[in-house]
Amino acid sequence: MAYFIDPEECTACGACIDECPVEAISEGDDFYTIDPEECTDCGACVDVCPVEAISPEE
């Protein structure tokens, strides 16, 4: 299961983008997004998010 970034919580700080080993995270207009097709469910991005905007996709 891929991870998801809540657009209402994301502050676009960029902390997560460097942590993704498969480059599944990209910058959007006001927040970052995770490509579910590329995400390997490693959770590295979750640990570095300062506002806890990243969670498993339901």
Q: Rounded to whole angstroms, how far apart are CA atoms 36 and 5?
A: 11
Mean pLDDT to the nearest integer, 25-53: 95
Whole-number pLDDT of residue 28: 85
Q: Rounded to whole angstroms, how far apart are CA atoms 55 and 45?
A: 9
What's the pLDDT tens digit per position in 16-37?
999 999 999 999 889 999 999 9
Quick count: other Cβ atoms within 10 Å of Cβ 7?
A: 14
Whole-number pLDDT of residue 16: 96
CATH class of 1-58: alpha beta
β-strands 54-56, 25-27: how paired?
Answer: unpaired
Q: How confident is the model at residue 42 (pLDDT cuts 50, 70, 90)?
A: very high
In order, the DSSP letters of 14-50 are -TTTTT-TT--EEE-SSSEEE-TTT-----HHHHH-T
- For the chain, the structural domain boundaries read 1-58
